[in-house]
Structure 1
């Protein structure tokens, strides 16, 4: 009948995967001569072959003759799987004559003394859609409604419902049968199935039965309670007048329910029906308790998702449950903790921020105490980011949070410490009142800092935000202590000599013999002996404990991290320029300049010696020399005002203004997101008011059932397209495998699922002869694996044969499918072959644009091994046009904000892109392009990084394809 859904066939395990399947003759012989155990294996192979697309109509009579009479329970079960999928109609659409014998056997099984055979037969009837077959089964099914065993009755009531749905003429009084059955039934499962049938056939009788059982609902079986809840939820959206009574009933049930399934279903129903904050809090509280109690992490994630949905649809209603949600943090799973923190973060307000931060501080302290636990470092970073986000929003909590996080600075790893410094940077910029105290706390905390990356960020903060004389002098004092004794070379040599002298005087004399050479003039004009450059390697004589006990800056410099020293040089120049603007005490100014020159020259000298683990690089050396020249030139009385203003712009104004813009952009982004969330859930001012008293019972003004919509989306896909668009998209995915002049024409319709590719192949015999043993063989290149090659078959002249091939995809890598068609030659000749065209799997079906934070992007960029660098030459009109084509062609999301991309006609463009595959693979890309002024071309590079080689190469091929497509010449006229 039109409108009846297609049955979902039962899947059968393939006993011989990868092996060649039997032919029809072999199947027939195996069914004729084999024992029951052999017939079971044969039936499994037959079912797998039929599910692959070959109906095997020739086997129907053999199965009726040799399988149907058997009393083996396993064979009988497989037989009913066979009846599900066997074609029951002939070419004219009429019932096949052999099915009469099948009907007689099914009727006998409906009266079988074994209740499990009866129940299995009744379950089969629920999947049968042919009225001609079902018509003969109706009397036996009605008899099974009164059978003594509940296993038979629970399927009999479902069979009655299924028969009525197929054709109401077969069982016109099905409603009365179900109603009478429900009145006398005592088994809870049977009552539940009967009530479900009654809700689908007669809403009034179902409502009456519900009213009669309201008083005893607390004592009913959980299965029947869930059926009641589902009926209430659906009926509430169809009859809004009863919604208030339904909500009260569900609240009573929720308060007394003990079954987790009932609690979950009732809470979800209440959240979809009600908008009252008290009801929503009750439902969300039960869900949170459920998430705390259950041990399965997947269930925790599902329940937390439902809580997030309630909060999203009703913003602000769950604010009082913020601390309750954070109880889930006791779970060890990082995904569950991340989900709970995300929900709690959206609920934090000025009323509960103190309590939330106290709890997060306690969690952070526990991670430090239990640092040996698995994933404690990741959890610590997650907590720091959450505390960062909360504290930035609330000024009253920022000061306490900064002091707490800075106390842990020495115990955190490089990434976590960098996150703390980023947090301090943002708070210092947003809240000027807290600036002085935060800078002092930062200077004190840096004494224990072990991360060079975090220390560089702290140097930038000290250089940018130290404004007063006292703040600058405190920073300078910290630098002096962090560098230690200068000059560094002489002090380190003295320590080495003293250490060696303590160990052995004889060894000391041998190791400290200097070469009898004269003094050496260094590039800066100073003198030095060659002892510092030819001294023994400090790594062999200084212990690790002593190296770790050095002050931070001295430790970084001696470890070879001269990038930090170049940042120190820029910070020193900033502090000197600021001090000159606010103070006229030239004694202090000259002292600062002299000490800064001593520090920078000392760093340069130690960078050229053997005392460091790695010699200074050219870039850092040049930056240090530039800083020295700026400080020396600053003492020149003939310095012009324009030079002075340029220095102040470069070192004082430029970087700080850039950071301010970055903060403003992030605030606008978060404000935009907040506005979108409010608009999504806000009621428009001009929305029509609906009066329930004036509306019809089946009024269209009733709100939609969100749960039913989710179920439909899960069944039909993420988006419901029109018939025209879906048809056109299907036509685009049809690929010809052979030519029209080949003896066998083949084409494939390609369907891409999440983890596999399905080829629906149609083969046409274009000859006037029957092609025997026709089969198709596929092979693959790349991370593809063929699940099964279909069996051979015979195709009549000008006949059609359809088969399905499933290919497993294990990564988003470029894959190629190739193969050939083989069939027997005539009169003892060799087999004949038809070579197939290659089919390329489109990796874009498995890559979706994604977003991530800048910190996470940089972390992955440094961690990923494979890089594919592609040069670009394109004649596109602008850089933004090329960026648009790149994002569309590679399915990568743009991470760089639109405000940072420049104008449409800009000459230079640099941005980051990110995508994620269906298999969890991350793909990073960096685009650096410019507009060549002479040729007008877009030139530059795309660098793609991924954890595996395949994804980087595949995306590189897509970038090359975009360039090739754009370089094709277009013919304007002839």
Structure 2
């Protein structure tokens, strides 16, 4: 399987289709999980994935580095290979974020003298030799000289072309490389005003210098420290020179000065932070991630119906149902008073087979169906109609019951429907003839194109036998399609959430208006009513601090993404005060953002009415 995944990864290198980046990202994550479970295949996978570090798709390159970071932490035998391949790909990286992660890995796991010297050499190649300010001044002076020479002479040269004719070439036609093309990658980041990578570089150089000083001679140690401190001082000097587009921030400058002070004094309480605590924090984060994944998988297994696995403890398959087993009808089961001794296991199994999601306290399937019936006309109308709305992924089936309450025969009784929103009526229902006090069922199919609150409206038109008047019309009540039937909880990484949050155009800001007084209770109520999943870890939400911020994510069956950010607060001095705050919803389409906002407002009104009734 790993060989097939490697072939697919190689195919995406030359492909330029629209979804190639997402497909490549999924392949990298799959190879990541395979290599962590089976470390023997990591030796062949790592060189292939290293090619993605130079990719313009930052997400794929970031996933590669996440995999490399976990692999180099868990498997000591892979450290030399990863350091070697990472140094080879270092100068081809095109993203500052990927460069920062690569610098952290190199600074943390380069332990031998050759590896440390190779890392410093590669940093000098991607940063530039010598003081940074002097190098920039020379670069600018070189461009000024070329421009002034071309402006001063303005001469032309007569050339003979291949067909024997004469052509004149002006000095202004000769193109020269710009300063951006001539600068190394790390120095270009600094000139663009991104001095956070300078602070990361200072941390990496400090780690390398501290480890180098423990295994090298004093003369080598002094030389290495001087070279490293010169680079850090050059970054601060460049940040204050006014040459970059943005000056260095106070935080980045203080961090670099802290690294310089650490190398100069080597305080005993600070050195372990660079040498031990960073790697310990990574191991604790990976352990917490594994525990979270194990808990999620256990929860998913617990949600499965008992006996649904189909395998016995000895490894053999067992029959899920015997030929002579009784057939259970969920509609005939009583909700309460189980005096007849029904088998609870059989009841749960039959509920799972028919697709029931609820627990023991939920009503049976027949009652659930009754809850989805919408009354379309009044009881006093000549024609009574009600509809059962069955949502089946991409289409909606309306099962309309029409009852003739008159003593006349209704000719050409037609159900006329129209839609509002991204709904489309597939076919027009055929007219029927209803005898006095007769009834019939008419089904209509409606296709759904996107996640948006839709409305179905219409009327019933009929003729009365022997009547000379025009056709009779009964107007139907509107049928509102709930958006929650198409939204399912989903998960994504923090990087994907931030990228989508920046890309999505439509935002809907909803004000929190609820009688609930507990922050956690309101979050649970919101997750239940919107079918969204909370991406913020449980540890970050625990405790009472007077405010809460959480990110939520959901995906529709049509592939649309919905993001939400919850920011709520509650004053400490008023324990009975309701929760206050805002919910910001972002989506790629306007309908998704507005529909989710309407759903949240409706649930808030429902909560208020329940509290008032209670």
TM-score strictly above 0.5? yes
Q: 1:928 to 1:431 in 2, by over 3 A?
A: farther
CA distance in 2, matches of 1:436, 1:720: 51
1:603 deviation in Å?
A: 4.1
Change (3 A) 1:655 1:905: farther
Provide the C-alpha distance between the structure 2 equivalents of 1:508 and 1:557, rounded to a whole number of angstroms: 33
Find the counterpart in structure 2 of residue 450 from structure 1: 94
Tell me if the contact between 1:848 and 1:891 (Cα under 8 Å) persists in the aligned partners: yes
Aligned-partner Cα distance in 1 for 2:9–2:483: 42
Match of 2:253 in 1: 625
Alpha-carbon distance in 2 for matches of 1:745, 1:587:
95
**Partner SS, residue 970 of structure 1:** helix
Q: Which residue of 1 aligns with 2:246?
A: 616
Pairing 1:954–2:595 present: yes
Query: Do residues 732 (structure 1) and 365 (structure 2) align?
Result: no
> CA offset at residue 578 of structure 1?
7.0
Match of 2:142 in 1: 498
Do structure 1's residue 659 and structure 2's residue 285 form an aligned pair? no
1:422 counterpart (66, 69, 90): 66
- Matched with 2:443 is 804
Q: How do 1:873-952 and structure 2 match up within 5 A?
A: 874-876=514-516, 878-895=518-535, 898=538, 900-903=539-542, 910-929=549-568, 932-936=571-575, 937-952=578-593
CA distance in 2 between counterparts of 1:679 and 1:577 reads 57
Q: Supply the distance in 2 between the matched residues of 1:925 and 1:665 (Cα, whole angstroms).
A: 25
Instruction: Quote the residue 2:312 is aligned against.
Output: 683
When Rg is computed on C-alpha atoms for both structures, the one with the higher figure is 1
Provide, for residues 608-657 of structure 1, a one-character-per-residue CA deviation record: whole Å limited to 9, x for no partner: 44xx5xx338xx623323324535766998x998xx55x965x7776544
- Give the length in aligned residue pairs: 556
1:301-312 residue pairs with structure 2 within 5 A?
A: none
What pairs with 1:691-770 in structure 2 (closer than 5 Å)? 718=355, 725-766=364-405
2:419 partner SS: strand
C-alpha spacing 1:578/1:686, structure 2 compared with 1 (3 Å):
closer
> Structure 2 residue aligned with 1:866, among 492, 499, 506?
506
Q: Secondary structure at the match of 2:512?
A: strand
Q: What are the superposed Cα offsets for residues 158-188 of structure 1, whole Å, 9 maximum, x if unpaired? A: xxxxxxxxxxxxxxxxxxxxxxxxxxxxxxx
CA–CA distance in 2 between the matches of 1:950 and 1:574?
A: 51
In the other structure, the counterpart of 1:836 is 476
- For residue 616 of structure 1, give the secondary structure of its aligned residue in structure 2: coil
User: Counterpart of 2:334?
Assistant: none
SS class of match (1:848): strand
Distance in 2, Cα, partners of 1:509 & 1:822: 90
Q: CA deviation at 1:402?
A: 3.4
Distance 1:962 1:658 in 2: 41
Q: Where in structure 2 are the equivalents of 1:821-832 lying within 5 Å?
A: 821-822=460-461
**Contact kept in structure 1, 2:202 and 2:232, CA below 8 Å:** no
Deviation (angstroms), 1:726: 1.9
Describe the superposition over 1:870-900 as per-residue Cα deviations: whole angstroms up to 9, x where unpaired. Answer: 34354535444333322321223445555x4
Quote the Cα distance in structure 2 between the aligned partners of 1:931 and 1:894.
Answer: 20
Matched position secondary structure for 2:94: coil
Q: Distance in 2 between matches of 1:815 and 1:786?
A: 12
Distance 1:968 1:573 in 2: 62
Q: Write the distance in 2 (CA, Å) between the matches of 1:733 and 1:603.
A: 68
Q: Deviation digits for residues 893-951 of structure 1, max 9, x if unmatched? A: 445555x4553657665554443323333334444555543445444544434332222
**CA distance in 1 between partners of 2:308 and 2:226 (Å):** 60
Question: Does the aligned pair in 2 maintain the 1:460–1:571 contact within 8 Å?
Answer: yes
Report the Cα offset of residue 409 of structure 1. Answer: 3.4
- What TM-score do the two structures reach when normalised by structure 1? 0.48
Q: What SS is found at the alignment partner of 1:745? A: strand
Give deviations 1:760-817, integer Å, cap 9, x for gaps. Answer: 2334455566666654433221111223444556656655454333322211210012
Q: In 2, distance between residues paired with 1:945 and 1:828?
A: 57
The 1:698/1:590 distance shift into structure 2, 3 A limit, reads closer
Q: Which has the higher strand share?
A: 2
- TM-aligned CA distance change 1:933 to 1:577, over 3 Å: farther
Please name the residue that 1:591 is paired with: 226
User: How does 1:378-457 map onto structure 2 within 5 Å?
Assistant: 380-399=24-43, 401-406=45-50, 409-410=53-54, 413-435=57-79, 438-457=82-101
Kindly indicate whether residue 190 of structure 2 is the aligned counterpart of residue 557 of structure 1: yes
Name the SS for the 1:818 alignment partner.
strand
Deviation of the 1:968 alpha carbon: 3.8
**What secondary structure is seen at the aligned counterpart in 1 of 2:364?**
helix
Flag structure 2 segments of 5+ consecutive residues without an equivalent: 155-173, 326-348
Shift in Å, 1:553: 0.5
**Deviation digits for residues 651-674 of structure 1 (CA, Å, limit 9, x no counterpart):** 777654443233113434566688
Q: Is the 8 A contact 2:195 2:252 kept in 1?
A: no
User: What SS does the corresponding residue of 2:106 show, helix, strand or coil?
Assistant: helix
Deviations 1:272-301 (A, max 9, x none): xxxxxxxxxxxxxxxxxxxxxxxxxxxxxx
Report the Cα distance in structure 1 between the residues aligned to 2:357 and 2:228, rounded to whole angstroms.
71
1:764-803 maps to which residues of 2 (within 5 A)? 764-766=403-405, 775-790=414-429, 799-800=438-439, 802-803=441-442
Aligned to 2:142, the other structure's residue is in SS state helix
Q: Distance in 1 between matches of 2:557 and 2:81?
A: 48
Distance 1:891 1:374 in 2: 29
Identify which range, 546-555 or 848-857, moves more after superposition: 848-857
Q: 1:601 aligned to 2:241?
A: no
Call closer, same or farther: CA 1:941–1:816 in 2, change over 3 Å. same
User: For residues 395 and 468 of structure 2, what CA distance do their matches in structure 1 show?
Assistant: 39
**C-alpha distance 734-361 of structure 1, shift in aligned 2 (>3 A):** closer
Give the distance between the partners of 2:314 and 2:393, measured in 1 at CA. 43
Q: Distance in 2 between matches of 1:654 and 1:400?
A: 31
- Once the two structures are TM-superposed, the CA of residue 373 in structure 1 deviates from its matched residue by 8.0
Q: Which residue of 1 aligns with 2:455?
A: 816
What is the root-mean-square deviation in Å for CA atoms of aligned residues? 4.9
Q: How far off its partner does 1:827 sit?
A: 7.5
Matches of 1:736 and 1:464 in 2, distance apart? 68
CA distance in 2 between partners of 1:773 and 1:365 (Å): 64
User: Which residue number in structure 2 is paired with residue 16 of structure 1?
Assistant: none
* Per-residue deviation, 1:732: 0.5
The two structures have a TM-score, normalised by structure 2, of 0.72
Q: Which residue of 2 aligns with 1:525?
A: none
Q: Say which SS state the counterpart of residue 812 (structure 1) adopts.
A: coil
Partner of 2:127: 483
Contact 2:53–2:98 under 8 Å retained in 1? no
Matched, 1:849 2:494: no
